[in-house]
Amino acid sequence: MMTNKTWSGRFREPVSELVKQYTGSVDFDKRLAPWDIQGSLAHAQMLAEAGVLRAQDLADIQRGMAEILAEIEDGKMPWSLDLEDVHMNVERRLTDKIGDAGKRLHTGRSRNDQVATDIRLWLRDEISQINQLIGDLQSALVDLAETHADVVMPGFTHMQVAQPVSFGHHMLAYVEMFGRDFERMADCRKRVNRMPLGAAALAGTTYPIQRETTARLLQFEAICQNSLDAVSDRDFAIEFTAAASLLMIHLSRLSEELILWMSPRFAFIDIADRFCTGSSIMPQKKNPDVPELVRGKSGRVIGHLMGLITLMKSQPLAYNKDNQEDKEPLFDTVDTLIDTLRIYADMMRGITVKPDNMRAAVLQGFATATDLADYLVKKGLPFRDSHEAVALAVRHADSLNVDLSDLPLSVLQSFSALINEDVYEVLTPEGSLNARNHLGGTAPAQVRAQAARWRKILSADAE
């Protein structure tokens, strides 16, 4: 006799042990159990209200599910591979506890619409947590930006010194990126929060179900309108993993900068010891392992996105066993994202900034050359002529191994007679920052204004 009697009547021989191991999913999908129970309770209540389930059966189901949920929370739930997945395990445990009422729970539904519902219930909760963690990371970056609004550092293009920027402005660039990530997650959640339950196996059900009732009980914003699409759709999982990949890319970019900045060749920052490790052979080492690992884990999440896209690319309607493969990459993406965001916010609050080293680096790459060109344009020189004059001045300063601000006035005037003594105000890094005092600019006043703006946004998002 087969152990799994939920479908065994059709078969003359039991499933082989190898097939059980290969096709079973309970080892990983049992984490969906609380959401499976949540969906089942709503389904049972709807069946009772529709007159399909007796009131006593509903009461027994509610009592039995409460006991099962307690067992799961206490780690006492007996999981069986013979029962394949989380759904059959919960149903069998319920039947063991309450008898025939447990067998009536599955009326009007299929594991196809059940699992699609469970994943959506679980993922919408995880997205809400992820967005809370994004907000916490943004808050840490805003604090860092506001504290160091006046700290000047080199801004880079092509990894070459380009123009002076405020360190606070640099941090706020990532706040903007994570803000878009927050918006993508919130928008994705709207499409996650659509109810497939009631689609049954693929064609709907002959029972007089009220899907609107179930959706209201489960707080779904909408109902999947086509039964075939409802059970086979995994767009929401792909969309979430795409949003997660972008978020990890942003975290990876910041990680790369932290790694570079911590190197003695830059020495712009220091990361707190609790986020670093040493070497087993080199006693002087302090390795930025957390940002390095975040940089690596971005590839892991991007890989899951590629896996999910490939999983769905050639599936005919409706549900196929292939879709069992959606859960592990989705689970791992969520786990990776939550762990990374949580540790990153804490790490950013432990960053020590080294302003003197940053300012010294600004003076190494002629970062105020554009300011000198703008100065000449404001004096009436056409920009292309100004560009050429400053390029010659830079070449001369480079040959002397000095900054533009170190050149005597008479030397600067040899490149343009329009240059006067006020040029040295333009050639300071601080002057360069303050000159860009417009919306989106790097001036410290703008950094503080943007920090205040973000505090209001983050406060509203947290409500």
Q: Whose CA is closest to 298, among 257, 263, 333, 325?
A: 333
Please check whether the domain covering 112-360 is classified as CATH 3.50.50.60.
no
Over the stretch 376-407, which tens digit does the pLDDT of each residue have?
999 999 999 999 999 999 999 999 999 999 99
State residue 20's pLDDT score: 85
Q: Cα 122 vs. chain centroid, distance in angstroms?
A: 16
pLDDT of 415 over the 80 cut: yes
Query: Does residue 110 have an active-site annotation?
Result: no
Nearest to 112 by CA among 229, 240, 237, 241: 229
Residue ranges per domain, the chain?
24-107, 112-360, 362-457
3-state secondary structure of 351: strand
The Cβ-side half-sphere exposure at 339, using a 13 Å CA radius, reads 13
Q: Give the contacts of 152 (CB within 8 A, at least 6 positions apart).
A: 164, 165, 166, 167, 355, 358, 359, 362, 429, 430, 432, 433
Per-residue confidence band for 1, with pLDDT thresholds at 50, 70 and 90? very low
Position 432, amino acid = S
List, for residues 15-45, the tens digit of each pLDDT value.
Answer: 888 888 888 899 999 999 999 999 999 999 9
pLDDT given at position 382: 96
More confident residue, 388 or 283: 388
Contact at 8 Å (CB) between 330 and 237? yes
According to CATH, the superfamily of the domain at 24-107 is: Fumarase/aspartase (N-terminal domain) (1.10.275.10)
- The answer on pLDDT for 5 being more than 80 is no
What digits encode the pLDDT tens for the residues 120-173? Answer: 999 999 999 999 999 999 999 999 999 999 999 999 999 999 999 999 999 999
Q: What is the pLDDT of residues 359-373, one digit of tens each?
A: 999 998 899 999 999
Given 158, 280, 314, 410, the catalytic residue: 158
Q: What is the pTM of this model?
A: 0.93
Q: Compute the CA torsion angle 309, 310, 316, 320 (nearest 10 deg).
A: -90
| Predicted local confidence at residue 462, as pLDDT | 84
362-457 homologous superfamily: Fumarase/aspartase (C-terminal domain) (1.10.40.30)
Is 298 catalytic? The answer is no
Structure-block tokens of residue 219:
């707080």
Confidence of residue 308 (pLDDT cuts 50, 70, 90): very high
What CA–CA distances, in Å, run from 51 to 48, 91, 210? 5, 21, 11
pLDDT band for position 431 (cuts 50, 70, 90): very high
Q: Considering 8, 128, 263, 279, which one is annotated as catalytic? A: 279
At residue 17, the pLDDT reads 86
